[in-house]
Amino acid sequence: MVNNVNAVKYYLQMTDIMFRSSMNYIRRCVPVIGLVMGTLIVYSIFFYNSYAQVSRNLVGSPNLSLTNVTQYFHHHQNFSRFEDKLFKPILNAFKHPNLLHDRKTKFRSDTIPTIFLLSNKSITNSYWVDSLKHFTEKQCPFQCNFTDNEKEVSKADAVLVYFSYFESPDALKSKLPKRDPRQPWIAFAVETPDHKFFKTQLPISSFNGIFNRTMTFRRDSDIIFTHGFVVSKEDAAFLPQPWVRHPPRLRQLPFYKRKVAVAFISHCVSLGRRMDYIRELSEFVPVDIYGKCGKLSCGASRYVGSSPEIEDDTCILEAAENYLFYLSFENSIADDYVTEKLYNILFYPVVPIVFGGVNYSDILPPNSFIPALEYKPADLAILILKLSHDETRYNAMLEWRNRYQVSKVGTRRIYCDLCTKLRTTKLYEEKLYDDFEDWFGTQSHCRKYTTDGVVPST
């Protein structure tokens, strides 16, 4: 009897979602004169469908009529061996260190490469001290030296230019020495090109014809900046112990007592318009929003930029204990762009709903996430409700945790990757970004969400 009551509630929720979704469409597309007639017709159709669906559930398994929601389970349940393509090069460096051992670089006979850091912060600043901790604690597969002494720039194996600390193109160019064309000059950018930083402080066009190497979130960068990785438990044995963290013990509520969905958002006006999507989704399923964009708070949800100590973020811990789904929505939609928002929640047995421009299948195991942008908010709500009423299917989305581990090492890991690349000859091949604005600005394909789908940003 209890199951029958739950079934009735479940399908009435489904009907309500489909009805309100259709009414939203009618309001946009049907003239006011036909609104009343359209309302009566749609209401009658969906009320009948609801009755039919509930009746079927009482004698058999549910069968949603929305094709893309039904196909989700068939398409995403195939679990196979997964390998994080972005993390593979540095994993191989740990597994096979002799392949790159003592490789000489182009600029000196030393066996340890030197990297010149160009930023408006001293190398003794706490940011750099923390970012380079993997070297001081010998946690990278290879060692590198770092300096900001301008007298050493001509002898350095590479010059790393960190955009984010400069207030204007002139401030940056005043520090740039004359470049040896054989020396890698690396443009380091952590934000997307539609970020206000590049609009107001450092126009991208200012750097056409300056850099010959890149270190960004883009997969076609020479060094790829990521905030974390997923690795098999077998391969994790090759990594330094601090690289693979274990979450604190959870006091997770039982499945049917947990709330549906949660999001932590403090930037309400984002480039990708994530809040527009969340507002639409909230019309159909409850979404608790913590931060400046919602009505809830849990103290300071700590952004861990460099430090991998995920256990310090008690807000994420509480979300994992009390919710079934976590909205990992990026502020920008650009090719390959993903941040700590994703890796924060992967430590815990919660299903992430992702919103961003990266191909999540390249960085996450199959059947471990729900891609929001593949669904209209109403359709996603139906999928969420279906999973929240089916503990077996929900738990199937957490099975990857038996084979894989997650790590969030922030900005530290990227310098290990850079140091590894400096021991190969490819980074020294002749190259120049004559049109850096096109490569970084245009080819990142920045986009935004609208009710008609995802469209290019303007």
Q: How confident is the model at residue 330 (pLDDT cuts 50, 70, 90)?
A: very high
Q: How confident is the model at residue 313 (pLDDT cuts 50, 70, 90)?
A: confident
Q: Cα(287)–Cα(299) distance, rounded to whole angstroms?
A: 19
Has residue 454 got a pLDDT over 60?
yes
Query: Do 388 and 294 share a structural domain?
Result: yes
Domain membership of residue 18 as a residue range: 2-63
pLDDT at 401: 93
Has residue 192 got a pLDDT over 50?
yes
CB proximity list for 92: less than 8 A, separation 6 or greater: 99
Which one has a higher pLDDT value, 104 or 184?
184
Has residue 65 got a pLDDT over 70?
no
Q: Amino acid identity of 367? A: N
Least confident window among 9-18, 193-202, 332-341, 349-358: 9-18
Q: Amino acid identity of 103? A: R
Q: Residues of 256-290 as b/e, b for ≥16 C-beta within 10 angstroms?
A: eebebbbbbbeeeebbbbbbebbebbbebbebbbb
Least confident window among 61-65, 137-141, 156-160: 61-65
Domain assignment of residue 365, yes or no: yes
Going by the DSSP 8-state scheme, the letter that residue 252 receives in this structure is P
* The residue count for the chain: 458
Least confident window among 49-63, 115-129, 275-289: 49-63
Per the structure, the count of domains in the chain is: 3
Query: Do 417 and 367 share a structural domain?
Result: no
Of 85, 14, 114, which Cα lies nearest the Cα of 54? 14
Domain assignment of residue 174, yes or no: yes
Query: Do 184 and 262 share a structural domain?
Result: no
Q: Cα(342)–Cα(333) distance, rounded to whole angstroms?
A: 14
* Average pLDDT of every residue of the chain: 80
Q: Cα(214)–Cα(180) distance, rounded to whole angstroms?
A: 16
Q: How confident is the model at residue 242 (pLDDT cuts 50, 70, 90)?
A: confident
Domain assignment of residue 315, yes or no: yes
Has residue 107 got a pLDDT over 80?
no
Query: Do 339 and 247 share a structural domain?
Result: yes
Which one has a higher pLDDT value, 216 or 247?
216
Q: Residues of 33-61 as b/e, b for ≥16 C-beta within 10 angstroms?
A: eeeeebbeebeeebeebbeebbeebeeee
Secondary structure element (H or E) that encloses residue 71, with its range: helix 67-76
Beta-bridged to residue 118, according to DSSP, are: 161
pLDDT at 100: 59
CATH number at 323 reads 3.40.50.11660
Q: Cα(168)–Cα(201) distance, rounded to whole angstroms?
A: 5
Q: How confident is the model at residue 110 (pLDDT cuts 50, 70, 90)?
A: low
Q: With contact defined as beta carbons under 8 Å apart, do 14 and 50 qualify?
A: yes
pLDDT at 80: 59
Domain assignment of residue 69, yes or no: no
Has residue 197 got a pLDDT over 90?
no
Domain assignment of residue 51, yes or no: yes
Least confident window among 102-106, 226-230, 240-244, 293-297: 102-106
Q: Cα(365)–Cα(363) distance, rounded to whole angstroms?
A: 7
Domain assignment of residue 234, yes or no: no
Of 320, 343, 65, 358, which Cα lies nearest the Cα of 217? 358
In this prediction, residues 431-448 reach a mean pLDDT of 93
Query: Do 221 and 187 share a structural domain?
Result: yes
Q: Cα(326)–Cα(390) distance, rounded to whole angstroms?
A: 17
161 token code pair: 């230019």
In this prediction, residues 137-141 reach a mean pLDDT of 89
Strands 114-118 and 158-162: parallel
pLDDT at 434: 93
Q: Cα(2)–Cα(33) distance, rounded to whole angstroms?
A: 44
What is the DSSP code string of 166-192?
-SSHHHHHTT--PPPTTS-EEEE--S-
Query: Do 134 and 108 share a structural domain?
Result: yes
Strands 185-188 and 158-162: parallel
Has residue 218 got a pLDDT over 90?
yes
Domain assignment of residue 350, yes or no: yes
Q: Cα(122)–Cα(108) distance, rounded to whole angstroms?
A: 25
CATH number at 129 reads 3.40.50
pLDDT at 89: 82
> What percent of the chain stands above pLDDT 90?
40
pLDDT at 241: 82
Query: Do 348 and 213 share a structural domain?
Result: no
Domain assignment of residue 93, yes or no: no
- What spatial distance separates the first Cα and last Cα of the chain, rounded to whole Å? 55
Query: Do 281 and 395 share a structural domain?
Result: yes
Query: Do 257 and 127 share a structural domain?
Result: no
CA distances from 221 to 112, 278, 429 (A): 23, 31, 14
Find how far residue 335's CA is from the centre of its chain. Answer: 11
> What percent of the chain stands above pLDDT 70?
76
pTM (2 d.p.): 0.82
Which one has a higher pLDDT value, 416 or 38?
416
The backbone torsions φ and ψ at residue 185, rounded to the nearest 5 degrees and listed phi first, read -110, 115
Has residue 60 got a pLDDT over 80?
no
Has residue 358 got a pLDDT over 60?
yes
253 token code pair: 């509520």
pLDDT at 101: 52
Has residue 184 got a pLDDT over 60?
yes
Q: With contact defined as beta carbons under 8 Å apart, do 353 and 287 qualify?
A: no
Q: With contact defined as beta carbons under 8 Å apart, do 97 and 142 qualify?
A: yes
Query: Do 209 and 107 share a structural domain?
Result: yes
147 token code pair: 């300096």
Q: Cα(173)–Cα(175) distance, rounded to whole angstroms?
A: 5
pLDDT at 245: 77
Query: Do 247 and 209 share a structural domain?
Result: no
In this prediction, residues 166-185 reach a mean pLDDT of 79
